[in-house]
Chain A
């Protein structure tokens, strides 16, 4: 089983739609969780951290279910500029401890928002 699994998509949605991405991870000892956004041929950029209590940042809501080892990202009122690949990232602590541990990236879910 892969360490971090995501549906590759693509998700093709109209502007204004609500879209949800899911991610599962295999290591129950994983400590930190993030969603990154990667535009075509660019570096990944941190979108938001994911906390057990869930967190919201504007149109973006992230949730974590440790029991099911499942992370989600909800995007409301999609914009054309939201088109990108969304990477689920898990940190296992590793040899560096804390959030400086190894980042384990999923392959990403591609989102395409159409006018």
Chain B
């Protein structure tokens, strides 16, 4: 139980395009989803937190207009990187936590999406 999937697992795009990454909780209702970013040899950094049905809360230094987050249902959150640039190339990982069972008070991570912007 408590499985989180991400799609796509990797994506290569041209500079200036937008990329959407999906994060799904497969067997539990994710009341809260987190989006992280990890650059090579760096630690995971929290970008934003989203609760189902409400606006995401962004960490300091993360542009909300560039990284659009939608958490429209209890099993799906999306992160859209708008007008991507090479410096946005990174490993994007989501995590989800729920209100019951194994997902209670524990963040379960998706497998990550590796974004390369040319």
Contacts and interface: CB of A to CB of B under 8 A. Distances in A.
B106 interface: yes
Interface stretch (A14-22, A40-48, A58-66, A70-78): A40-48
Contacts, number: 43
A25 to B, nearest CB: 13
Interface in A1-56: 4, 8, 41-46
Interface residues of B, number: 22
Contacts of B46: 102-103
A107 B106 contact: no
Does more than half of chain B's interface fall in helix, strand or loop, or is it mixed? Answer: strand
A37 to B, nearest CB: 11
Nearest to B45: A105
B44 interface: yes
A108 B110 CA distance: 19
Nearest to B94: A43
A8 B40 CA distance: 13
B89 interface: no
A39 to B, nearest CB: 11
Nearest to B46: A102
Contact of A44 (B41, B44, B45, B57): B44
7 contacts: A4-B43, A41-B114, A42-B112, A43-B93, A87-B43, A96-B49, A105-B45
Q: 6 closest Cβ contacts across the A-B interface?
A: A43-B109, A105-B43, A99-B105, A105-B44, A107-B43, A43-B112
